[in-house]
Structure 1
C-alpha cells in the first residue's frame, strides 16, 4: 500500500515537472526559448503553459520605459556640458522575439545606451553650449531622437522622446549669459524710453501746430470793425457793473464815468 502511494506521488511529481505555467502581465509579451532556440511567435498576456525541463519563458516589457542617465555633452566651442537626460522608449510588440534573438535580454546596455551616447555627441557638437540652455533645447532633443530612431526602430525599438531635463553649464558661461540677457533687457528698456520720448515730442509738435493754426484763423478774422465792435461790447458789459469805475478809451471810444 505504501509503495503504491509512493509510485503515485512520483508519477504526479513527474507530471508536474513536465508541465509548467507562467503568467504574462499586461504591458509585457512572452518569448519562449526551447533548447536555446527562440520561438518566432510572441506570447500574449495571460496564462501560458510550457515544459520547464526544456523551455523557459522570457518576459519582455512593451510598455513605455524610462532610462535616466547623467552625461557630459560636448558643445561646438569644446566645452563639456553636464546634463540629466531621460530616454523614453518601448519594445515593438511584433519584434520582441527578434530583439531577444538578435540582441539579448540586456538590450538597454548593449544597444540603446551606446546608440544614444553616439547620437547625442554628434548632435550637441553642432550647437553652442548656451543653445542647450535656451529655446533650441527642443530642437536638440528632437534631432537626437531622430538619429536614434534611424538605427533602433528597424531593430525593434520605438524611441518616444529624448528629454534634456537638467543642463549644467560652466559657471563662467552662466555669468556671461546672464550679462548678455541683462544687456538685452537694458537695450529694450532704452528703446522703449526713446520711443516714448519720440511720441511725446510728436504730440507737442501737433499741439503747437494746432495752436498756431487756431491763432492764425482768429487773427485773420479780426478786422478793425470787428475789433471796434467787440470793444464797445466789452465797455457796455462793464458799464452795467454796480461798482464805481472809470473807463478811459483810446480816444476814439467814449469815456464812461460812473460813481
Structure 2
C-alpha cells in the first residue's frame, strides 16, 4: 500500500513538471486563460489538472516554402524560398491570445505570399535569376517586416534558394550569356592583335632608326680604317689568300671624288 502511494505521488510530481529548453519560452494557461508572465528555459512546475504549459520558440526559425510567383510579363515562376524569422519574447502571450499556436500558418505565411506576389510582379522573370535577386529578397523582407513587426514577429531574412524559369526563357538566357562570352573572347583577341601590331611597329621603327644612325656614322675615314684592320687580320692568317687592291686601299673601294 505504501509503495502504491509512493508511486502515485511520484507520478503526480513528474506529471506536474515540464522543461523549457534553450531558445523557448513557456506560457501558462489556467482554465483557458493565459498568464502574461513568461517562463524562461528551465524546469517549470504546474498543476496538470488546471494548467497547461505552451512552449513557443523565440530563436531564429527557418520556414521553407515552395511557391509559384508571378512576373511582370505574366509568367509563372516556380520558387523555393526560406523565411528566417524570430518572435519577440515579451509579446508571446499576446500572440497566443490573438492568433493562437498556428501563427505561422495563419499569419506569417499569408503575409509572405501577398508580399512576394506584389514584389515579383514588378520584375521581369529574368531578373529573379540575375543579380537583382538580392533586391527582390530585401523588398519582400521589408514588406513582411512592416506588417508583422507590431505583432511581435521579426523578419530577419528572405532567401530565394531556387528559381525555376520557363524552359524557353531559360534557353534564351543561356544563349544570351553564351553570346556575351563569345563577344568578350573576340574583344580579347582583337586587343591582343592590336598590342602585337603595336609591338611590331615599335620594333620596326627602332630597327630603322638604328640603321639611319649607323649609315650617318659611316664616313669615308671610318670605312678605310675598318678596311685596314680587316687587311691586317687577313695578313696574319696562315691560309693562302688573294687580295684585290687598287694600290691605295686593301679592297677595291671607289675612291674617286665627285
TM-score band w.r.t. shorter chain: 0.7 to 0.9
Shift of 1:133: 1.6
Shift of 1:139: 2.3
Q: How does 1:93-242 map to 2 (within 5 A)?
A: 93-242=89-238
* Greater Cα shift, 134-143 or 187-196: 134-143
> Does residue 42 of structure 2 align to residue 46 of structure 1?
yes
Provide, for residues 105-150 of structure 1, a one-character-per-residue CA deviation record: whole Å limited to 9, x for no partner: 1101110001111111122122221222222222222221121111
Q: 1:176 to 1:106 in 2, by over 3 A?
A: same
Shift of 1:252: 4.5
Segments of structure 2 that go 5 or more residues without pairing to the other structure are 253-258
Question: In 2, distance between residues paired with 1:60 and 1:40?
Answer: 13
Question: In 1, distance between residues paired with 2:53 and 2:128?
Answer: 44
Shift of 1:241: 2.1
Shift of 1:204: 0.8
Shift of 1:168: 0.8
Q: 1:132 to 1:243 in 2, by over 3 A?
A: same
Shift of 1:250: 5.9
Q: 1:106 to 1:179 in 2, by over 3 A?
A: same
Three-state SS of the structure 2 residue aligned to 1:82 is strand
Question: In 1, distance between residues paired with 2:20 and 2:226?
Answer: 109
Question: In 2, distance between residues paired with 1:254 and 1:168?
Answer: 91
> Does residue 29 of structure 2 align to residue 29 of structure 1?
no
Alpha carbon RMSD of aligned pairs, Å? 2.5
Provide, for residues 186-230 of structure 1, a one-character-per-residue CA deviation record: whole Å limited to 9, x for no partner: 111111111111111111111111111111111111111211221
Segments of structure 1 that go 5 or more residues without pairing to the other structure are none
Q: TM-score under structure 1 normalisation?
A: 0.85
Q: 1:255 to 1:224 in 2, by over 3 A?
A: closer
Question: Number of residue pairs matched?
Answer: 245
Provide, for residues 164-189 of structure 1, a one-character-per-residue CA deviation record: whole Å limited to 9, x for no partner: 11111111111111111111111111
2:227–2:250 Cα contact (<8 Å) kept: no
Q: What stretches of structure 1 move > 4 A for 4+ residues in a row?
A: none
Question: In 2, distance between residues paired with 1:117 and 1:26?
Answer: 30
Name which of 63, 75, 80 aligns with 1:67. 63
Name which of 51, 71, 78 aligns with 2:74. 78
